[in-house]
């Protein structure tokens, strides 16, 4: 018997997203494995620059239960080096082509805020756009999203690409996040984009305390009537609070993902697929 006891009425009306010729049912929890093809992502073991290592990691994640692989060529950790568009584009195209050839049926997401990278990624076989900027950093991304209408992950953040990790003041963080995302969701729907996931943006433009305040109000984000993606995996909101390192933050990650699962989140973006699959199997 499932411990979640979730009724269908608790999910958004649009919980089936079109992926190519198939529908992805987001009433069932889904796992998104993180594949970084950048050189300085905050969690060192996730950096997979060489083709052989990339394929080994992708194969392991798929075997362990990943439904989606999220490929990122631009590190968004605090203090990360800014890289040129051409470098990100080349990294992402090569990674997608390599993985798509080996695993033709896997769902691929591209983690980018740049329109040119998103367009090239889709043309090379990516199925989703995962945008940390909410269409704010690069105006050209809006036209790409409108043209291709692939599922789009809208993440909450503030500032520009250079200051998205700065400390910001919120009147009431849960209400402020909902308000900002509601406006962006309407903008996307006006573009004809309806397969929208929302990501509260844990770790972006928020202090550790603000992250946990937002976490407590996670269920309120269902007011936006979009499936929710969460990305806690080994982030500083865990290891700073516990006084440990990212390498030691798996247990804390599992605790927060369990809370999010109990609050009916749909996609879990993680470095550690096996552990997330065990959480879902135990509670479903």
Domain membership of residue 171 (yes or no) is yes
pLDDT tens digit sequence for 257-281: 999 999 999 999 999 999 999 999 9
Q: Determine, yes or no, domain membership for 10.
A: no
* Mean pLDDT within 203-218: 95
> Is residue 16, in this structure, part of any structural domain at all?
no
Contacts of 147 (CB under 8 A, 6+ apart): none
Q: Which domain holds residue 168?
A: 28-283
Q: Is residue 240 part of a domain?
A: yes
- The CATH number that applies at residue 33 is 3.20.20.20
Which residues are the active-site residues? 235, 269
Choice among 70-74, 102-106, 167-171 with the minimum mean pLDDT: 167-171
Measured CA to CA in angstroms, residue 129 lies from 88, 134, 141, 145, 253 at distances of 15, 11, 10, 8, 24
Give domain status of residue 94, yes or no: yes
pLDDT tens, position by position, 144-169 = 999 999 999 999 988 756 655 567 88
**pLDDT number for residue 164:** 58
- Residue 76 belongs to some domain of the structure: yes
Where does the pLDDT of residue 192 fall: very low under 50, low under 70, confident under 90, or very high at 90 and above?
A: very high
Helical segments of 129-266, H only: 140-148, 173-190, 208-216, 236-242, 250-262
**Is residue 56 included in any domain, yes or no?**
yes
In the predicted model, is pLDDT for residue 244 greater than 60? yes
Residue 4 lies in a domain: no
Q: What is the pLDDT of residue 144?
A: 96
Q: Determine the straight-line distance between the first and last CA of the chain, rounded to whole angstroms.
A: 7
Q: How far is it, in rounded angstroms, from Cα 235 to Cα 226?
A: 24
Tally of structural domains, the chain: 1
Helix runs in 103-207, H state only: 115-123, 140-148, 173-190
Reported confidence tier of residue 4, pLDDT bands at 50, 70, 90 = low
Angle at 9 between CA 149 and CA 260, to 5 degrees: 75
């Amino acid at each position: 018997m499932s411990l979640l006891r979730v009724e269908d009425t608790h999910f958004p009306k649009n919980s089936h997203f079109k992926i190519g010729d198939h529908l992805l049912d987001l009433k069932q929890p889904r796992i998104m494995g993180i594949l970084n093809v950048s050189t300085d992502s905050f969690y060192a073991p996730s950096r997979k620059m060489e083709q052989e290592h990339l394929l080994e990691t992708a194969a392991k994640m798929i075997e362990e239960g990943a439904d989606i692989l999220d490929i990122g060529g631009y590190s968004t950790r605090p203090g990360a080096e800014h890289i040129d568009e051409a470098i990100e584009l080349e990294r992402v195209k090569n990674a997608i082509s390599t993985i798509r050839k080996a695993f033709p049926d896997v769902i691929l997401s591209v983690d980018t805020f740049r329109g040119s990278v998103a367009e090239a990624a889709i043309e090379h076989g990516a199925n989703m756009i995962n945008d940390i900027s909410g269409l704010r950093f690069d105006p050209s991304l809006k036209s790409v999203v409108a043209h291709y209408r692939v599922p789009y992950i809208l993440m909450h953040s503030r500032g520009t690409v250079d200051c998205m990790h700065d400390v910001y003041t919120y009147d009431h963080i849960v209400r402020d996040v909902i308000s900002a995302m509601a406006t962006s969701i309407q903008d996307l729907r006006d573009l004809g984009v309806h397969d929208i996931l929302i990501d509260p943006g844990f770790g972006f433009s928020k202090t550790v305390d603000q992250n946990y305040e937002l976490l407590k109000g996670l269920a309120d984000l269902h007011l936006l009537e979009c499936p929710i993606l969460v990305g806690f995996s080994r982030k500083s909101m865990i290891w700073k609070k516990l006084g440990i390192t990212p390498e030691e933050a798996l247990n804390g990650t599992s605790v927060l993902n369990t809370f999010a699962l109990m609050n009916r989140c749909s996609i879990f973006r993680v470095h550690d697929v096996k552990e997330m699959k065990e959480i879902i199997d135990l509670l479903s």
